[in-house]
């Protein structure tokens, strides 16, 4: 298991496109992803749960990845958050 904190940089927060990119990365690497914002947790394979976190711009989240390719998956996920989801 690996984990890292990130700040949501997209001005629209974690919206549908960003959540979709998180789900795609989790499925591509075949890992379990949990995104935490404060005490709230979301399954990284559920777009709906990710959206329900309500992670606005500037929110601090923690990305937790478990699985065989967890380091590679974490690197990919952090890339999504660091560049604002490609927007």
pLDDT computed for residue 81 by the predictor = 85
**CA nearest 6: which of 82, 69, 67, 85?**
82
Asked if 32 contacts 66 with a C-beta cutoff of 8 angstroms, the reply is: yes
pTM higher than the cut 0.85: yes
pLDDT computed for residue 85 by the predictor = 57
Which superfamily does CATH assign the domain made up of 2-82 to?
Answer: HPr-like (3.30.1340.10)
The whole-angstrom separation of Cα 11 and Cα 23 is: 20
Beta-strand pair 60-66/2-7: antiparallel
Q: Which residue has the higher pLDDT, 9 or 48?
A: 48
**Tens-place pLDDT, residues 32-68:** 999 999 999 999 999 999 999 999 999 999 999 999 9
Boundaries of every domain in the chain: 2-82
**Above 80 in pLDDT, residue 84?**
no
Residue 44's CB is within 10 A of a number of other CB atoms, namely: 24
What residue spans of the chain are helical by DSSP H? 16-29, 47-52, 70-82
Vertex 36: Cα angle to 32 and 39 (nearest 5): 135
pLDDT computed for residue 25 by the predictor = 92
| Mean pLDDT, the chain, whole residue set | 92
**Overall average pLDDT of the 82-87 stretch:** 60
């Amino acid at each position: 298991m690996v984990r890292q904190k990130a700040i949501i940089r997209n001005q629209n927060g974690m919206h549908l496109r960003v959540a979709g990119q998180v789900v795609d990365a989790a499925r591509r690497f075949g890992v379990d992803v949990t995104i935490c914002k404060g005490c709230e947790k979301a399954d990284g394979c559920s777009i709906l749960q990710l959206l329900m976190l309500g992670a606005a711009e500037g929110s601090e989240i923690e990305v937790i990845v478990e699985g065989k390719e967890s380091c590679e998956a974490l690197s990919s996920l952090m890339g999504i958050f660091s560049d604002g989801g490609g927007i």
